[in-house]
């Protein structure tokens, strides 16, 4: 919630630092696999509780190896191909 008591949403930006406002917040940096933002890299975040700063980060991973295992487990092809495109 912001100072007016309204809910705010932010889309994470790679290497963006976000200063937190001291209130309870739900932060979702993304995930490994099933991206929705046209970036297939794994997403994660660093939270520095001393400075109250959250930083969004990305890192590449072996998508081909994951897709191979997904096919071995008969997962839906649409989910498998989504990994390489990031949407």
Residue pLDDT, tens place only, 10-19: 666 656 667 7
Domain residue ranges of the chain, discontinuous segments joined by +: 17-85
Report d(CA 54, CA 17) in Å as an integer.
6
pLDDT band at residue 76, thresholds of 50, 70 and 90? very high
Report d(CA 33, CA 36) in Å as an integer.
9
* pTM, 2 dp: 0.64
Question: How confident is the model at residue 2, as a pLDDT?
Answer: 63
* CB of 58 closer than 8 Å to CB of 18: no
pLDDT band at residue 64, thresholds of 50, 70 and 90? very high
């Amino acid at each position: 919630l912001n100072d007016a008591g309204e809910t705010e949403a932010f889309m994470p930006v790679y290497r963006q630092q976000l200063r937190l406002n001291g209130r309870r917040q739900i932060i979702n940096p993304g995930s490994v696999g099933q991206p929705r933002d046209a970036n297939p890299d794994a997403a994660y975040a660093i939270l520095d509780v001393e400075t109250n700063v959250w930083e969004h980060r990305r890192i590449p991973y072996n998508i081909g190896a994951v897709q191979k295992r997904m096919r071995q487990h008969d997962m839906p092809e649409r989910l498998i191909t989504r990994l390489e495109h990031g949407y």
